[in-house]
Structure 1
């Protein structure tokens, strides 16, 4: 339900996509609104033949044309009990959400995800909705699991892939900022898992099992290629002042930024002493008593976020 804000807007490149230049160019010429999903689906079926291109077309149209607006929560009751075998009432509500998303060009995560699901269905592409939790900002560190977001799984060429068109559309920080991104298009599970935790873990498609509690305790891992196992210390996102003397030691592997800096909420300060090994960096961040958050930057971009108690 929460649109990605602030930190994760840096994840704006298509690091694991193939060449979709033709698909994206065709979609850019489509109308901005449609009366119903059938009309948009006919355009897609006419212009693309492969499952891969059709899913790309669906995702691209949505992130290019649908804006996030939290006021949409007031329009519908979004409570469901079963996403794969909905009853008649749920289907009627789903149809209303999809039609409003297409015609008004605004939605919250349910609108993005349900439209993606419907268009995939009409293209004969196996897919389903996933409900779960997210980690996108400091308050998410250490809190209990919540079912506050919705995304998609679609099967292409017999293989399931993860999609989040809501986060792919842009960010929301008081108002919607359109920033179309393909980071959340066919995202590798190990990267998706840093920010998304499904209600049923099988929908994570992860080879590494982590619990809801472990997900909650992770720091904000903003650097796009950094994985939880790469953070050797501190591994948990909640830091306690009384556990340290005057500085916090960081040990991180599989990354080697040229510059490292940090901020406790205002001024950003560079770190001069960085110990570099073959596949590991070590550095210290001076502890500021009374600070509530710590943000570490790699080469000028947010990389890791922690809460302080």
Structure 2
């Protein structure tokens, strides 16, 4: 009875928070870009409009991010059925760079004209529009963490791409592919849902979900183990700056009767916190304590918990862990 009652509260809160999020999602740059046409005759025309409307490099970079996220959809069919990769030969570094540029030119033109792309098209278009706005921009390729099944993987793979853009002498991390939406496994389709959190993302959050092929960022090594074995975090974690202090690994070893200690910084007792058991029922966290700017609580590990556990705050998924039974 309590579970059913909590389910009703969950639905009611979801409606309230959805309205609140819509009101807060867009900044002033986004609101201007939302009024832009869906179609421009050329990328040059779009860049000219952006450069006319915005003067700071930061606003231009955000406007490019927003327009792409609003208008280019992820091509999930192309992701499932990728074309055969076409290699090329070269004899000099200059020839190599010329051929890479030709490839990226085809990618951004296809994305711009078809309004569909996978990550390579998103990143190529972002780089091209940035350069038309006199912004220095690069494409980074690497691995991504998008599912609970990614927690504890043994190896990384090159399956994703994102951008870095130089603004006010500082490189900013951009993932416009994830900014436009996400794949909903329960519905079996892509969901268009603009998210600003992948524009100028804090590196600590960004590299919890991304791992560059080079293994480094701006000359500093990034821990592959932390990426592979860390917990899975979500958009709302980044948006609300919910830092996961404990457990410090995404893999929890436990036996029945153990208590899993959880600490989430910047959460409070005013938040509704719960997790889902393996029957997908919401279990409300009670008697959580605020301490040092964090919310601390325990989850008893028993046979109602499956292979993974996801913690929610105010109806939003925040963090997932993999459970390994001792």
The bucket for the TM-score relative to the shorter chain is 0.7 to 0.9
Matched, 1:64 2:70: yes
How far did 1:151 drift? 0.7
Q: Distance between the aligned counterparts of 2:55 and 2:316, measured in 1?
A: 39
Alpha-carbon displacement from aligned partner over 1:48-91 (angstroms, at most 9, x marks no partner): 3332222122111101101111223446456789xx97533333
Rate the CA distance shift 1:236–1:253 in 2: closer, same or farther, 3 A: same
1:216 aligns with 2:228: yes
Question: 1:33 matched to which residue of 2?
Answer: 39
Mapped to 2, the partners of 1:166 and 1:98 lie a distance apart of 13
Q: 1:77 to 1:119 in 2, by over 3 A?
A: farther
TM-score by length of 2: 0.77
Give me the whole-angstrom Cα distance separating, in 1, the residues matched to 2:131 and 2:84.
23
Displacement after TM superposition at 1:14 (Å): 11
Give distance in 1, aligned partners of 2:23 and 2:218. Answer: 20
- Counterparts of 1:142-161 in structure 2, within 5 Å, are 142-143=152-153, 144-161=155-172
> Larger deviation: 118-127 or 272-281?
272-281
User: Is residue 238 from structure 1 mapped to residue 251 from structure 2 by the alignment?
Assistant: yes
| Cα distance change of structure 1 residues 152 and 205 upon mapping to structure 2, 3 Å threshold | farther
Shift of the 159–80 alpha-carbon distance from structure 1 to 2, 3 Å rule, reads farther
Distance (whole Å) between structure 1 residues aligned to residue 277 and residue 86 of structure 2:
38
Instruction: Say yes or no: does 1:303 pair with 2:321.
Output: no
Q: How does 1:71-220 map to 2 (within 5 A)?
A: 71-73=77-79, 74=81, 76-77=83-84, 86-143=96-153, 144-173=155-184, 174-203=188-217, 210-220=222-232
**Cα contact 1:261–1:297 (8 A) shared by 2:** yes
The offset of 1:32, in angstroms, is 1.2
Does the 8 Å contact 1:35/1:103 carry over to 2?
no
Closer, same or farther: CA 281–58 of 1 in aligned 2, 3 Å: closer
Count of residues paired in the alignment = 287
Following superposition, the deviation at residue 46 of structure 1 comes to 3.4
Q: 1:160 aligns to what SS in structure 2?
A: strand
Alpha-carbon offset, residue 110 of structure 1: 0.9
Which residue pairs with 2:274 in the alignment? Answer: 261
- 5+ residue gaps, structure 2, are 1-17
Taking the aligned partners of 2:66 and 2:213, their CA distance within structure 1 comes to: 26
- Alignment partner, residue 43 of structure 1: 49
Contact 1:219 1:305 in 2 (8 A): yes
Larger radius of gyration: 2
Question: Deviation of residue 95 (structure 1)?
Answer: 1.6
Mapped partners of 2:54, 2:82: distance in 1: 34
Structure 1 residue 29 displacement after superposition: 3.2
Q: TM-score, normalised by structure 1?
A: 0.81
Q: What is the SS of the residue equivalent to 1:193?
A: helix
From the superposition, tell whether residues 14 and 153 of structure 1 become closer, same or farther in structure 2 (CA, over 3 Å): farther
C-alpha RMSD of matched pairs (Å) = 3.0
Indicate the SS of the match to 2:60: helix
- In structure 1, runs of 5+ residues without a counterpart are 1-9
Q: Taking structure 1 as reference, are residues 113 and 78 closer, same or farther at Cα in structure 2, changes over 3 Å only? A: farther
Matched with 1:277 is 291
**2:130 and 2:266 mapped to 1: Cα distance?**
37
